[in-house]
Amino acid sequence: MSPTVSSPQTRKLAPVDLAAERAFLGSALPEAVLRVLDSGRFVLGPEVEALERAFAERCRCRAAFGVASGTDALVLGLLALGVKPGDRVLTSPFTFFATAEAIAWIGAMPCFADVEEHSGLLDVEKVEAALDDSIRCLLPVHLYGQMADMRALRALADEHGFSLLEDGAQAHGAERDGIATGELGDACTFSFYPTKNLGAAGEGGLVVTRDQAVADRLAGLRDHGSRTKYRHDFIGTNSRLHALQAAVLNVKLPHLDAWNDARRANAARYDEGLGDLESIRPMAALPGATHVYHQYTIRVLGEGRRDRLQEALAAEGIHAAVHYPIPLHLQPAAEAFGYREGDLPVAERLAGEVLCLPVHPFLTEEDVERIVDAIRRLA
């Protein structure tokens, strides 16, 4: 990928480089936007349908529905699976807040199982231990671009009879053991927030499903409960993906696999350059996983050391981010969920240790070398 032009040692290195992406795509983006403007088809229509077809195919699913955001995708996904006010939904405490927020937004109750220290993904044994008859749905998160253990979670869902919604907001194009996102869940949601591996020029989201009944509900839920004009079968909302955003996404989608390859190449360079450091543990890429590295994350061991390293890198123009500094069960907004410090120790520890390094596809080899050298000096 061609980098933005500036001297390699002074160039600011950030989690995303949207200017480089814009330059790489050239006239294709404005042409697509103009096509939509000239067509006058702004709400759903052919661009949205083309994106939905492509996503359904990639996820080996029956149908896909473009919606207003990744958060709405979760809200509508939960409703489409029949989650009701008062139901308990088991999810990860180590994710972006929207995952639990969507559950609470529809009046259901989020509950949490702890995550694996080496991957940050839901720990299947802890999930099993946390299960009881009140759990209505399980909501695993494909954190940082790596899928949760969907085979094991599907088996648990079948055994206990609850539904399975995947949060794939960070995992466009990921697979695990040959299974695609959405292939084993009852539905899988995506976000097209601009910093995602596939990002819109604004907000956007999408839900895929293998299940015809779930598809029928999603079609209505995002469009006022209506599948036939002016006939409203149930209460829905207005959460339709905008055609302009779909057009932008359709320009980018053919590049997604190459961009994910470039992320993996950057990740391999980091693994090699940092693997021997005492105080640094790269988060694991699991056997059988096709990791798409929405984030490349290291753990920085030692009290306060992560924050000091983050500051020292920033002073050299390297912006590393913390996803996430507070686990969901300890968020001020989560008080009503009934958890206390110490309840989910692995997520709590990771929140103090993780640091996400720039890994986007427009970094050069020299950029990654510069970051590796800086960490080796400063960690």
Ligand X SMILES: Cc1ncc(COP(=O)(O)O)c(C=O)c1O
Contacting positions for ligand X (CB under 6 A):
69-71, 95-96, 98-99, 141, 167, 169-170, 191, 193, 205
Q: Which long-range contacts (C-beta less than 8 Å, at least 24 apart) are formed by 230-236?
A: none
355 bridge partner residues: 298
The values of phi and psi at residue 238, to 5°, are -105, 100
The residue number with the shortest CB distance to ligand X is: 70
Looking at beta carbons only, is 190 or 309 nearer to ligand X?
190
Residue 86 one-letter amino acid: G
If we measure between CA atoms, which residue out of 237, 254, 243, 249 comes closest to residue 73?
237
274 Cβ partners below 8 Å, 6+ apart? 280, 282, 298, 372, 375, 376
Looking at beta carbons only, is 290 or 295 nearer to ligand X?
295
Minimum CB separation of residue 318 from ligand X in Å reads 22
- Alpha-helical runs (H) found in the chain: 18-25, 28-39, 46-58, 70-80, 98-105, 124-130, 150-160, 212-221, 243-252, 256-274, 305-315, 345-353, 365-378
The H or E element spanning position 137 is strand 135-139
Looking at beta carbons only, is 71 or 146 nearer to ligand X?
71
| Distance, CA of 224 to CA of 234 (rounded, Å) | 8
| Distance, CA of 198 to CA of 44 (rounded, Å) | 19
Q: What is the CA radius of gyration of the chain?
A: 21
Looking at beta carbons only, is 71 or 181 nearer to ligand X?
71
| Residue located via tokens 């470039």 | 262
DSSP 8-state assignment for residue 6: S
| Distance, CA of 159 to CA of 86 (rounded, Å) | 22
Minimum CB separation of residue 193 from ligand X in Å reads 4
DSSP 8-state assignment for residue 143: G
If we measure between CA atoms, which residue out of 328, 325, 256, 330 comes closest to residue 297?
325
Residue 161 one-letter amino acid: G
Would you call 280 helix, strand, or coil by DSSP?
A: strand
